[in-house]
Chain A
Amino acid sequence: MSRLEAKKPSLCKSEPLTTERVRTTLSVLKRIVTSCYGPSGRLKQLHNGFGGYVCTTSQSSALLSHLLVTHPILKILTTSIQNHVSSFSDCGLFTAILCCNLIENVQRLGLTPTTVIRLNKHLLSLCISYLKSETCGCRIPVDFSSTHILLCLVRSILTSKPACMLTRKETEHVSALILRAFLLTIPENAEGHIILGKSLIVPLKGQRVIDSTVLPGILIEMSEVQLMRLLPIKKSTALKVALFCTTLSGDISDTGEGTVVVSYGVSLENAVLDQLLNLGRQLISDHVDLVLCQKVIHPSLKQFLNMHRIIAIDRIGVTLMEPLTKMTGTQPIGSLGSICPNSYGSVKDVCTAKFGSKHFFHLIPNEATICSLLLCNRNDTAWDELKLTCQTALHVLQLTLKEPWALLGGGCTETHLAAYIRHKTHNDPESILKDDECTQTELQLIAEAFCSALESVVGSLEHDGGDILTDMKYGHLWSVQADSPCVANWPDLLSQCGCGLYNSQEELNWSFLRSTRHPFVPQSCLPHEAVGSASNLILDCLTAKLSGLQVAIETANLILDLSYVIEDKN
C-alpha cells in the first residue's frame, strides 16, 4: 500500500559559491585530490567507521567512489569527474585539481559569470586546437612498430599510482605484462575495422608481483578435487566444445500462465532426466570433447558424460560467457533438444595449471584474442589498486590505438600549454576576442587565472617541499629538491625536465614557476631525434587528457554559473 505524505518545502539558497561553507568544503576536496597527485603523492586510507573493508589508494576512481559527498555543488564536481574516469580511466585527479583551481582563481577576480564563462570557453578552444595541431610542441607520435613509446606510456601510469607498492623491477615486469596482454587482444589478420579481444584479469593475492604472468586463452578456477576428477584428454586435433547458456539441471522451465495438473504417479523429474540423457547421447554421437555450462549440470548427466570421456564443467557464470563464445567460436546453446551442428566450437587444447594455491583449468585457443592476465600482489588493498591500474593502462593503450599520439607527461604539457596561452593572449588578443563584448583587461585577468590554475596542477606534483622551475625555451617543467642551495648554478642542480626529454646541459634560462615571467613563445614542433634518443620518457594519454581538460573547464563553468541551489528536503 502506498502512503501519501505532504511534501516538505524545499530549501532555496542564492549565490551558493559565496558562502563560507561551500568554500571550505571545496578547499577540503582540493586538498584531498592535490595531495594524491603524482608519483610521490600521498596515499589515502578510506574506511567505514563501522568496520569492514579498508581501501588504501591515491586514485581518483577509488577515492571518489568511497567519498560520501553531500553538498550538491560538490556532488556535481565529483560525479562529473567520476563520469570522466569511467569513460577514459585516466586523468581523473588532473581534472579534479584543475577544476577546483579554476573555480578558486576565478572567484578571486570578481568578474561577472558571463564574461568568465565566455573567456574560459575561448581559452579552452585555444588549448584544444593547439594540442590537436601539427605544430604542437608537447605531443609525440606513437610508433606501434616498436614497444619503446608504448612501454613508456604504461610505465608512466604505473609509477603515478604509488599505492600499488611496486619496486622498480616489478614496475618493469608488470609494464611488460600489460603490454603483452594488450598486444594479445589485437587480432592477427585484421582487415577493415578491428574488433579487439579482451584481457581477463585473474586475481592471485598473496603472491609476489614478479610471479604475475600472461597466458593466452581462458583460465577457469576449480578446486583441486574437481580438477583431479577430470580425465586427461589425449587428442592430436582440436577439441570440440559445446557451450550451454540454458540450465542442464533438470528444472522444468516456464509452463505458462495457466495451471499444469500432474496425475499421481507421473514423475516429471524422470521425464526431464530422460531428456537430458538423450541430449548427452546426442553430444556423444556428435563427438563433443568438452561441455561447458553457464548454469548447473545435473549430476547424472555429468557422470554420464564423464563415463564417455567428455569433460563437463558447469557454473561458468555469465561474465565468462562472452569471452568463451568469442574464443571458441561457439553459439551458446539454449535448447535441450536437437543441437544444430554449427553451434559447436573448438579449442586447441586444454590443460590444468597451478598458480600459487589456486588450481585452474586452462583453455588454450586456436587463435588468440582472449588472454588472461594473472595478477599477483602481496595484499588485498595493494592488489585492488594494481588491478585498477592495469585496467587503466589497458584502456589507455586502446585509446592510443585509436588516436596514436601521446602527450609529454610529468607536468611538461601543462607548463608548456600555460606558456603558450600566456603568449597568445598577450600578443594576439584580438583573434581571441573577435566579436565579443569582453575587454582586453578582462582577457588578461582570466588568462592569468587559467594559466595559474594549470600551473598549480603541476605544482601539486611536488609533495616534499621542493621547488618547481620552468625553462624559457621549451616551457617544460624542472623540479629541484628541497633545501638545495639557492645559487644560480641551475644546470648542476637540475638534471632532467619532468618528462625526461631534455637535460640541463643545454643552454637554458630557468625561472621559478610561481614568479612572474615575460610571456615567451614555447618552442613548437618536437625534433624527431630527441624523441628517439630519450630512453625513459614520461608520457600521458592524449585522448584522456584532452577530455579531462574539457570536462574540468566545462564543470567549472557550470559551477560558476549557479545562482541558486534548491534542495529538496523530502
Chain B
Amino acid sequence: MLSSMAAAGSVKAALQVAEVLEAIVSCCVGPEGRQVLCTKPTGEVLLSRNGGRLLEALHLEHPIARMIVDCVSSHLKKTGDGAKTFIIFLCHLLRGLHAITDREKDPLMCENIQTQGRHWKNCSRWKFISQALLTFQTQILDGIMDQYLSRHFLSIFSSAKERTLCRSSLELLLEAYFCGRVGRNNHKFISQLMCDYFFKCMTCKSGIGVFELVDDHFVELNVGVTGLPVSDSRIIAGLVLQKDFSVYRPADGDMRMVIVTETIQPLFSTSGSEFILNSEAQFQTSQFWIMEKTKAIMKHLHSQNVKLLISSVKQPDLVIYYAGVNGISVVECLSSEEVSLIRRIIGLSPFVPPQAFSQCEIPNTALVKFCKPLILRSKRYVHLGLISTCAFIPHSIVLCGPVQGLIEQHEDALHGALKMLRQLFKDLDLNYMTQTNDQNGTSSLFIYKNSGESYQAPDPGNGSIQRPYQDTVVENKDALEKTQTYLKVHSNLVIPDVELETYIPYSTPTLTPTDTFQTVETLTCLSLERNRLTDYYEPLLKNNSTAYSTRGNRIEISYENLQVTNITRKGSMLPVSCKLPNMGTSQSYLSSSMPAGCVLPVGGNFEILLHYYLLNYAKKCHQSEETMVSMIIANALLGIPKVLYKSKTGKYSFPHTYIRAVHALQTNQPLVSSQTGLESVMGKYQLLTSVLQCLTKILTIDMVITVKRHPQKVHNQDSEDEL
C-alpha cells in the first residue's frame, strides 16, 4: 500500500529550492524592501516583511524547503532577526558549491582544487565538504572574528565599564532593524516608539531579567486598536489589561490589591466530596452561611484597604455585589498569562480566603498607584498603576493602525527587536559574575562553560585587567628578544596591537592582547580588550613542565591578573577530527570573548569585512579544502550587500562601495559607511553559524525518500468497517 519515491538529494536540488525562496525573500529585504500580504485560512489578512512569517505562510511541500524553513524558524526563535539574510546567504553558498562541482563552468578555481573536486566526486564529497564546513564553523570562524574583525567593532554602550546605554546608538540600531521589518513610512516612528519604551521600562540596574520578562509577556504588554492612524500609537505608563471592570468603584489614597485564582464564595461541595442535604432548613442555613461568609470576607478585604480584586476565574454575582458594596473594584476572567505577568511585576502570591476568621492583616496584598478604566476607541480597558518590585517599570504599548494585519506586523517587529536586543545584551549578567569570580580564581571553569554553550563568552572585567595588562606588555617587551617571538605593530591603533606567539614543543600558549580604538560619528569608542591565554594540559606536557616554567616566566607573572582559560584537550570534545599535516603536534585552541553590545555599521559592513579577512586567511592556508571552504563562504557573504545595494547607482553602487572598503582595509584606514544605522555583531555571528549548520545538514543528505500514502487505503478500511 505504500509507494516510495526516491530522489537524489543534491546541491542542485537544494539550490533550486533556495533560489525560489530567495526570489520571494529578496523583495522585502533591507530598507528598500516591500511588503507581502498573507491571507490566513480563516480569511484574515496579515501584512508582513518578516522572513520567518513569510516562509511559514508558504506551507512548502518540498522536503528540503521544509528543512530550510525549520532551520530558519529555530534560528528566529532564538535571535528574532535575520530570516531573509539566512535564505540569501544559504542560496549563495549553495551556488558556490554548485559552481565548484561544475568543472567546465568554473575558470576561477585553481588547479589543485579541481583535482580535489574530482576526488570528492568519487568518495562521498558532500559529506566531506560538510565536515570541512563544520570544522570551519567550530574552529576557524571564531579565530577570524576575534583576531581580525574585532578591531572594527563598536559598542552600543557609551562606556564599556559601566555599561550605560547610549541612546543615540540604540536609536541607530533600532532604526536599522525596523528598516527591514515594517513599512517604510512607519519605521522611524516605530523605532522611536521602541526606543522610548525601552528607556521607560528599564531602570539603570535592569539586567537580563527584564528582557526575559518583556519577551515572555510581550503579548500582554501591548494593546492593538484598529481604525486609528499608526501615528496615534503611544506608550502608557502602567499596565493595560484587555478586560473591563466587572464592577468599578473609584478610589484614591492608600489602595491595595489582591489576586485570587478561585471563587471567593464558598461552594456547597468541592470536587471529590459529597454534600448530603437532609432537610430544607439545612439547605437554607447553609445558603445563609455561604452568604454571610462571603460578606465577611469582602468586609475584611475592605478593612484592609483592598480596593481592587483581580481574579483569574469568574466570580459569582454575590461576590461582585459585596465587592461593589464595599467599594472594591473587580476584574475577572484574566488569562493565566496576565495573572503571571502581574505576579512577576509585583511579586505577589494569590490570596486564599481564610478558613477561620481573624482580624489580622492579610499577607498577600500589594499597593497600587491607581486603577481606572481606560477608553480606547470606545472600548474599555482596565488601566493599572502597579508598583514594581523588580527592575521592570510597567508600561504598555498602544498600537494603532487602520487594519489588524498592520498592527500585528508592528507587534511582531517590536517583539523581534526585543529578542535581538536580548541577544545583544545577553552576557551582561554573566559578565558581572565572572568579574567577581575572577579574583577568586575560579572563573576559568565558569567561563569555559559559557563558551561551550554559545561559543562566544564575552570578556568582562576590562577595568580590572587593564592596569596589570599594561605592566605585562612592558615585561613582555623585555623578554621578547630572549624567546623567539615576533611583534607586530599596527600604526592606526592607539595602543599597539601586540601579538605574541611562543613556540614551545608540545604546547602552544598564546598571549594576544589587543586594544582597539575607533570613532565613528556620534558613536563613542569602545575599548575592546582581548586577553587570551591558553594552556594545554596533556600528559605529555608534564615532561616539559620545567622547561615551560623557566621559559615562560613572564607569563606566570600575569597569571594572577589575566583571565586564564584552560581547555583540557580530549578527543571526544572535537566534533570533527581534521587531517592536519602535523598530527603529531598538539592543536591550538583559543578561547575568545566578545563583550556584550558589539555593533557594526549597517550596509553589509560585517559581510565585507569577513569576506576580506577570509580571503586573506585562505591565501595563508595550506590545506586545499580549508582554502576552498573559506573562499566559498567569503564569496557567498558578498551576496548580502549585493542585494542591499541593488537599487543604488553611481558612487553608492555595490562595486564602488566594495572597492572603497577593500582599499580602506588594505591601507589600514577606517571604514566609512554611506548609511547610518547599526547592527548587532552577535546577531550576524549567530546567523552565520546557523546557516553553516543548515548547509551541513543539507549536504549530509544523500537521498530524499517521499512516502505517499494512498488515499484508497482509508477508503478500504471504512468500507470494511461498514461491512
Contact = CB atoms under 8 A, between A and B. Distances in A.
B268 A563 contact: no
Interface stretch (A141-149, A267-275, A415-423, A460-468): A267-275
Nearest to A569: B41
B37 A334 contact: no
Interface string A223-262: 0000000000000000000000110000001111111111
Contacts of A80: 227, 402-403
B402 A554 contact: yes
B439 to A, nearest CB: 52
A562 B405 CA distance: 13
Query: Chain B interface mostly helix, strand, loop or mixed?
Result: mixed
Contact of A565 (B36, B226, B275, B277): B36
Contact of A76 (B37, B41, B291, B292): B37
B279 interface: yes
B676 to A, nearest CB: 12
B275 A331 contact: no
Contact of A568 (B24, B41, B230, B271): B41
A270 B270 CA distance: 25
Interface residues of B, number: 70
Interface stretch (A306-314, A338-346, A381-389, A528-536): A338-346
A410 B230 CA distance: 28
Contacts of B277: 260-263, 266, 268
B317 A246 contact: yes
B59 A554 contact: no
A121 interface: yes
Contacts of A568: 38-41, 57, 59
B269 A260 contact: yes
For A10, A73, A332, which residue has the most chain B Cβ atoms within 10 angstroms?
A10
A547 B231 CA distance: 11
B58 A9 contact: yes
Contacts of A561: 34-35, 183-184
A566 B54 contact: yes
Contact of A340 (B27, B280, B325): B325
B58 A83 contact: no
A9 B57 CA distance: 9
A72 interface: yes
Contacts of B406: 558
B403 A79 contact: yes
Contacts of A340: 325
Contacts of B377: 87
Contacts of B295: 337-338
Contact of A258 (B24, B226, B270): B270
A274 B282 CA distance: 13
A234 B395 CA distance: 56
A557 interface: yes
A87 B229 contact: no
Contacts of B24: 12, 564
B320 interface: yes
Contact of B28 (A8, A259, A563): A563
A263 B36 contact: no
B383 to A, nearest CB: 15
A10 B184 contact: no
B269 A259 contact: yes
Contacts of B271: 256-258
B284 A257 contact: no
B321 interface: yes
Contacts of A121: 185
Contacts of A514: none
A569 B670 CA distance: 52
B472 interface: no
A286 interface: no
Interface stretch (A112-120, A156-164, A171-179): A112-120
A10 B40 CA distance: 10
Nearest to B34: A563
A122 B420 CA distance: 31
A386 to B, nearest CB: 21
B232 to A, nearest CB: 9
A255 B35 contact: no
Nearest to A343: B325
B280 A256 contact: no
Contact of B269 (A12, A114, A258, A274): A258
A570 B37 contact: no
A458 interface: no
Contact of A275 (B36, B231, B284, B320): B284
Contacts of A12: 24, 58
B716 interface: no
Interface string B32-70: 101111111101010100000010011111000000000
A471 B378 CA distance: 40
Contacts of B279: 263, 266
A8 B318 CA distance: 51
B322 interface: yes
A554 B230 contact: yes
A407 interface: no
Nearest to A84: B227
B494 interface: no
Contact of B227 (A88, A338, A566): A88
A209 B45 CA distance: 42
Given A10-B57, A562-B34, A564-B27, A256 B267 contact: yes
B288 interface: yes
B262 to A, nearest CB: 11
B539 interface: no
Contacts of A275: 284, 287
For A75, A263, A555, A566, which residue has the most chain B Cβ atoms within 10 angstroms?
A566
A7 interface: yes
B404 interface: yes
A560 B270 CA distance: 60
Contact of A338 (B38, B184, B291): B291
B109 to A, nearest CB: 35
B275 A258 contact: yes
For B36, B292, B402, B403, which residue has the most chain A Cβ atoms within 10 angstroms?
B402
Interface string B260-295: 000000011111111111111101100110011001
A324 interface: no
Given A117-B185, A558-B35, A568-B40, A335 B291 contact: yes
B234 to A, nearest CB: 15
A86 interface: yes
Given A554-B230, A558-B406, A9 B39 contact: no
B581 interface: no
B650 interface: no
B278 A7 contact: no
A339 B227 CA distance: 44
Contacts of B584: none
B275 A10 contact: no
A79 B404 contact: yes
A507 B34 CA distance: 51
Contact of A335 (B28, B229, B321): B321
Contact of B226 (A83, A114, A266): A83
Interface string B308-331: 000000001111111011000000
A403 interface: no
A567 interface: yes
Interface in A335-373: 335-338, 340, 342-343
Contacts of A253: 316
12 contacts: A76-B405, A253-B316, A254-B267, A256-B275, A257-B272, A271-B283, A334-B322, A336-B287, A338-B291, A561-B35, A566-B54, A570-B41
Given A83-B227, A261-B276, A563-B28, 4 more contacts: A336-B291, A558-B403, A562-B36, A565-B38
Interface of A: 7-10, 12, 14, 16, 72-73, 75-76, 79-80, 83-88, 112-114, 117-118, 120-121, 245-246, 253-263, 266-268, 270-271, 274-275, 331-338, 340, 342-343, 547, 550-551, 554-555, 557-558, 561-570
- Which 8 pairs show the lowest CB-CB distances between chains A and B? A258-B269, A334-B317, A256-B267, A334-B321, A83-B227, A257-B271, A80-B402, A87-B227
